[in-house]
Chain A
């Protein structure tokens, strides 16, 4: 399987703390994307980082990419209860336009 892996599988933190999720993948990529999914809902695109980028910010989100280690991390700073959701990384290897999703991290923010 080409599916990436994320760790931790589940994470519970207190509101206000920072949350870090990691994603590892197996093939060369064109870009890596992070998505959020609330329970039973569709996916919301959070951020995209290209293979020639190492770090990207968007609001309280910070994404890093290490292509030599085939890994990425998503940091959510100053977490809020509304951040409770599952977070998935997805890789785009280019060419065939397909996204391959990681296994996901279930994040719970405790008020």
Chain B
């Protein structure tokens, strides 16, 4: 159990377009999901914390108007990269924290989405 999926797994788009990435918890419910960005050969940097039914909390330096996050249900969060530019090309990874985890220690990670903006 505890599987998190992301769709699409990779996407290529033209500069100026918007791209939506979905993160789903397949066999558990998650009130909290996290979005990370990872540049090649670098670590994961937290972008935002997504809470079901409320606004996302963005990390310092992350533009909330550029990276729109919607957490409409207990199993789905979406990240939309608006007006994407080549510098937004990166590996985007989500994680989800199960409601049943009372210790709040566990995050299950998705397989990631590779975004290439031309």
Say yes or no for A13: interface residue by CB 8 A criterion: no
**B1-18: contact bitstring with A at CB < 8 Å (1 yes, 0 no)?**
000101000000000000
- Which of B43, B46, B114 contacts A98, CB < 8 Å? B46
For A50, the closest partner residue in chain B by CB is B105
Say yes or no for B49: interface residue by CB 8 A criterion: yes
**Max chain B Cβ within 10 angstroms of own Cβ: one of A42, A103, A104:** A42
Main SS of chain A's interface residues? Answer: strand
Given contacts A48-B105, A92-B105, contact A42 B111 (CB under 8 A): yes
Shortest A19–chain B CB gap in Å is 19
Asked if A98 and B49 sit within 8 Å, CB to CB, the answer is: yes
Say yes or no for B98: interface residue by CB 8 A criterion: no
Shortest B74–chain A CB gap in Å is 16
Say yes or no for A60: interface residue by CB 8 A criterion: no
CA separation between A103 and B38, bound complex, in Å? 11
**Max chain B Cβ within 10 angstroms of own Cβ: one of A35, A97, A103:** A97
Asked if B112 and A103 sit within 8 Å, CB to CB, the answer is: no
- Which of B41, B49, B105, B114 contacts A31, CB < 8 Å? B105
- Of residues 17 through 45 on chain A, the ones whose CB sits less than 8 Å from some CB of chain B are 30-31, 33, 35, 40-45
Shortest A26–chain B CB gap in Å is 14
Q: Which residues of A contact B110 (CB under 8 A)?
A: 42
Shortest B60–chain A CB gap in Å is 10
CB-defined A-B contacts under 8 Å, sample of 28? A3-B43, A33-B105, A40-B91, A40-B112, A41-B111, A42-B4, A42-B93, A42-B110, A42-B111, A43-B93, A43-B95, A45-B106, A45-B107, A45-B108, A45-B109, A48-B105, A88-B44, A97-B32, A97-B49, A97-B104, A98-B49, A99-B95, A99-B107, A100-B46, A101-B36, A103-B43, A104-B42, A106-B41
